[in-house]
Amino acid sequence: MIALASNYLIFRLASGESLPLCAETLAADLAEHNSRLMDPELVSQAASAVFYYFKQELGLQTVTIGEFAQAFEKALRIFNSDGRDGTNADTGSQVRESDLCRLAYDSGHGGELFFFPRLRNELRTQMESQPQLLRFSGLRGCAKQLAGARRWSPRCQTVQDRIVDYLRGCLTAEAGKRDLSLIIK
């Protein structure tokens, strides 16, 4: 049997066939087919998030199209919960957003040493208003800034993974039993 690359999932189709897809291909395809209905960047981010969930969080190698579609639909609802689609305009106060690049910039030359405590404080501050969704944007730029890189590198990827893991750990510790969603893009 041929080993599956780490960035691929096998999708089981209703016909019984299996199709290996990587996150980038899947996200691009979904964004292309939904570009008239929704923002392609939003669709791409949602697809990537769901792919990551199945591959990294659940540790799955194989998923059915139905399971992926259900999780993808839920992710799109969460991503759209800030009222941009006009359906949930009253939920804007339930969404709190923070800019990771700004937090990295505000940390000065202290790098990661000052960034991570500021990040935890930002998470706590945002949670005080009892939101249903926390959105942290600017992940890629923040990782490059903290790594001191002009172009994406393995060091940037390591910093990005560390930021995501740290935010998830902090949210788990701080949220307790609350139903709270986290988006990091």
- The C-alpha R_g of the chain, in whole angstroms, comes to 18
Q: Which two tokens stand for residue 145?
A: 């800034």
Spatial strand order in the sheet of 62-64: 18-22, 8-12, 62-64
Q: Is 181 strand, coil or helix?
A: strand
Calculate helix-pair angle for 112-127, 154-175, nearest 10 degrees.
40
Closest of 66, 64, 60, 68 to residue 4, by C-alpha:
60
pLDDT at site 83: 45
Mind listing the pLDDT tens digit for each residue in 45-103?
777 788 888 887 788 888 887 888 788 877 777 766 544 443 343 444 588 899 999 99
Pairing of strands 18-22, 8-12: antiparallel
pLDDT at site 146: 93
Contact assessment for residue 126 and residue 87, using Cβ atoms and an 8 Å cutoff = no
pLDDT at site 156: 92
Per DSSP (E only), the strands in the chain are: 8-12, 18-22, 62-64, 95-99, 133-137, 181-184
Q: Which two tokens stand for residue 85?
A: 């689609």
Q: Is 139 strand, coil or helix?
A: helix
Mind listing the pLDDT tens digit for each residue in 15-32?
888 888 877 777 677 667
Angstrom CA distances, 129 to 13, 93, 94, 95, 97, stand at 43, 9, 8, 9, 12
